[in-house]
């Protein structure tokens, strides 16, 4: 017998799938830190291949962004230094523990362009005080994601430009091939820490040039082959 909820809650987050009426249900949101050398340097870290590290955002922080048009993105509370981090998002159709690197891509459903929006002042304070990162990284609506492109249509993008502009001015511009840890490596290593499951999405790290945005500005994030998303901050 199916249990009946004692209260009503919002349904889980989903991401539209390009070329289909279907949506992808989101289970967990994992993010990798410092996965582009020049960004590692700008954050005061070591750009060498030190082991990758991961954090999570709450799965209901997903903000859906259409392939065309601009969505309104609410500026979060409790920050005066809200930053964009453009990232490729990987969506898993299956998972497991201790996934081998050579098998990792077989678990991928598709890819999208996303933003790991960050209350940088709160993240910096957490670093200084050796506290958890949630308040910096998991603000409401802090995971804008564009429509998912299935592997059947785009393959596994490993190179191509990734960029974000603010009010038309270039801010971050790099190439997916500049990732320190590849997507298969990220999936393999992450699966040693957590059992990955269908519905998990991974934000694969951001290149250099992260910076502040304000109310009234418009961010446009683009990845070659994965379209673009546009957000007006209100
Ligand atoms: Mn990030």
The CATH number covering residue 111 comes to 3.90.850.10
20 CA distance to ligand 1 middle (Å):
28
Over residues 160-199, the pLDDT tens digits come to 999 999 999 999 999 999 999 999 999 999 999 999 999 9
User: Which residues make up the environment of ion ligand 1, defined by Cβ < 5 Å?
Assistant: 85, 116, 206
Per-residue confidence band for 73, with pLDDT thresholds at 50, 70 and 90:
very high
Q: What is the pLDDT of residue 29?
A: 98
Question: Exposed (0-12), middle (13-18) or buried (19+): which is 224, by Cβ within 10 Å?
Answer: middle
Beta bridge mates, 163: 173, 222
Confidence of residue 44 (pLDDT cuts 50, 70, 90): confident
N-to-C CA span, the chain: 45
The pLDDT of residue 39 is 76
Whether 9 is covered by a domain: the verdict is: no
Range(s) of the domain holding residue 87: 14-233
- Flag whether 140 is in a domain: yes
5 domain residue, yes or no:
no
CA–centroid distance, 58 to ligand 1, in Å, is: 14
Taking the alpha carbons of 201, 205, 211, 217 in that order, is the dihedral positive or negative? negative
Q: Does some domain include residue 7? A: no
Domain total of the chain: 1
Output the CA 4–ligand 1 centroid distance in Å: 37
Alpha carbon distance 15, 218 (integer Å): 22
Please report whether residue 1 resides in a domain.
Answer: no
Examine residue 146 and state whether it is found in any structural domain, yes or no: yes
| 48: pLDDT strictly greater than 80 | no
- Give the tens place of pLDDT for each residue, 118-145: 999 999 999 999 999 999 999 999 999 9
């Amino acid at each position: 017998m199916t249990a009946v909820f004692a209260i009503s809650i919002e349904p889980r987050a989903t991401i539209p799938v390009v070329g289909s009426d279907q949506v992808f249900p989101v289970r967990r949101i994992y993010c990798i830190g410092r996965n582009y050398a020049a960004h590692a340097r700008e954050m005061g870290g070591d750009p060498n291949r030190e082991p990758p590290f991961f954090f999570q955002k709450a799965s209901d922080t997903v903000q859906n962004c259409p392939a065309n048009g601009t969505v309104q993105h609410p500026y979060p509370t409790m920050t005066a230094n809200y930053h964009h981090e453009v990232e490729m998002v990987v969506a898993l159709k299956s998972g497991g523990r201790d996934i081998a690197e050579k098998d990792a891509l077989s678990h991928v459903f598709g890819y999208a362009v996303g933003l790991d929006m960050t209350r940088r002042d709160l993240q910096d304070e957490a670093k200084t005080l050796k506290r958890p990162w949630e308040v910096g990284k998991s603000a409401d609506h802090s995971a804008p994601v564009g429509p998912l492109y299935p592997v059947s249509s785009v393959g596994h993008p490993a190179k191509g430009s990734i960029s974000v502009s603010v009010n038309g001015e270039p801010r971050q511009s790099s190439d997916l091939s500049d990732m320190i840890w590849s997507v298969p490596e990220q999936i393999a290593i992450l699966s040693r820490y957590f059992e990955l499951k269908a519905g998990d999405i991974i934000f694969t790290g951001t290149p250099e040039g992260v910076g502040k945005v304000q109310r009234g500005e418009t961010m446009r994030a683009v990845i070659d082959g994965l379209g673009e998303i546009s957000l007006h901050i209100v």
